[in-house]
Amino acid sequence: MSETEKVKGPASYFPAIEKKYGQPIEHWLTLIQTLEGMKHMERVNWLKNEHQIGHGHANALVAYALAQNT
């Protein structure tokens, strides 16, 4: 990707998520995959409650993870 292209969508949050929570994105995506049967917002709330991830970051991670599974 060139310097002029910007990452859009949920992935645009990834650098900030890694910096703030100290784990690679793959760590969070793996955790989200274990939450089978949960709806989008249930997964977001789980990340918020269990890992103290902010709403926007949790929502971006879940949206990205679910989009990868379709």
> What pLDDT score was predicted for residue 7?
82
Share of the chain above pLDDT 70, in %: 93
CA 42 to chain centre: 13
Amino acid letter for position 70 = T
The reported pTM is 0.88
Q: Which two tokens stand for residue 57?
A: 């970051």
Q: For each of the chain's 70 residues, which pLDDT tens digit applies?
A: 455 578 889 999 999 999 999 999 999 999 999 999 999 999 999 999 999 999 999 999 999 999 997 6
C-alpha count within 13 angstroms, C-beta hemisphere, residue 70: 6
**CA distance linking residue 67 with residue 48, whole number of Å:** 20
Give CA angle at 48 (33, 46), nearest 5°. Answer: 45
Q: Which two tokens stand for residue 41?
A: 């917002």
